[in-house]
Amino acid sequence: MLFVFVLLGIAAVASAGNFYNDFDITWGDRRAQILNGGQLLTLSLDQQSGSGFVSKNEYLLGRIDMQIKLVGGNSAGTVTAYYLSSQGPTHDEIDFEFLGNLSGNPYILHTNVFTQGKGNREQQFYLWFDPTTAFHTYSLVWNAQRIIFLVDNIPIRVYNNLESIGVPFPNKQPMKIYSSLWNADDWATMGGRVKTDWTKAPFTASFRNFNADTCFRSPSGPLPCSSGNNKGLANGAWQDQSLDAAGRNRIRWVQKKFMVYNYCTDIKRFPQGLPPECKRSRFL
Ligand SMILES: *[C@@H]1O[C@H](CO)[C@@H](O)[C@H](O)[C@H]1NC(C)=O
């Protein structure tokens, strides 16, 4: 029995980074494509449909990296969503959503954390680079104490485990990784005032170098936590990762210079008082 588990574990680890092995196309027909022998995945959107994919495995805690190159040119109205989610009415979810814009205008990176079916924890950021001209790495470090959102290894957001004061934390429901490219021109760009220019379709976003250093379940059942992969990136460091002094400096820089919206400072929205996690977290 143990031997079988070890074999399965090795197979899963060795396959990290190949889209054929790790993901299924879920919708959009030919608009979603796995290319270059599994090294590249592209999603596209036209006036008829968007497209999307989902991971074959479920994950519960870990470090998950994906490189994404977003829709270039006039991407107004488009949204590229990349997120982890469990299923059901009390699902947990950890979101990155990239809101497109007119050429030369900045994307917004929208983030959220849902616990037990409830979100309302949005933080939005501009990026310090053009996310459409090259691939950049978007990561989640998700351990028992906190979730850290990283962009090119720079922390932009931390959601702490404050179960001790009654704030739910997503640590019980395994999640799959989802991504989709879709039309959201009713709200995405400048609050919905800028519409998708369909003469520019199809719109395309690209994904590569997926890496998961994590505990996960394959469709055939639970597997132990993996602490290795074929890229030499994994070392299990995510398990007790927090922000060190450099990380705290960087997140301060990001939140000062690039933060567009923070639910934790939106007093108008929470007239009864800000959510409890907002008072406790040093990095909101
Ligand atoms: C789009 O560009 C405008 C003008 O710079 C900016 O106000 C807005 O936040 C940008 N992003 C989105 C998604 O609307």
Q: What is the 3-state secondary structure (H, E, C) of 5-64?
A: HHHHHHHHHHCCCCHHHHEEEEECHHHEEEEHHHCEEEEEECCCCCEEEEECCEEEEEEE
Q: Atom 10 of ligand 1 has which residue's CA nearest to it?
A: 106
Q: Which residue's alpha carbon is at the smallest distance from atom 4 of ligand 1? A: 105
Does residue 163 have an active-site annotation? Answer: no
Q: Does the CB atom of residue 10 touch ligand 1 within 6 A? A: no
58 labelled catalytic: no
101 lines ligand 1 (CB under 6 A): yes
Instruction: Specify the pLDDT at position 9.
Output: 46
Does the Cβ of 106 fall within 6 Å of ligand 1?
Answer: yes
Supply the pTM of this predicted model. 0.90
In the prediction, which pLDDT does 280 show?
67
Does the pLDDT of residue 220 top 80, yes or no?
no
pLDDT for 12: 44
Average pLDDT over residues 84-99: 97
Q: What CATH class is the domain 2-279?
A: mainly beta
- What confidence score (pLDDT) does residue 155 get? 98
Query: How would residue 224 be classed by pLDDT, with cut points 50, 70 and 90?
Result: low
Does the pLDDT at position 230 exceed 80?
no
d(CA 135, CA 205): 10
Ligand 1 neighbourhood includes 80 CB (under 6 angstroms): no
Give the number of the atom of ligand 1 that is nearest the alpha carbon of residue 188: 13
Query: How far is the centre of ligand 1, averaged over its atoms, from the C-alpha of 148 (Å)?
Result: 25
Q: How remote is the CA of residue 275 from the centroid of ligand 1, in Å? A: 27
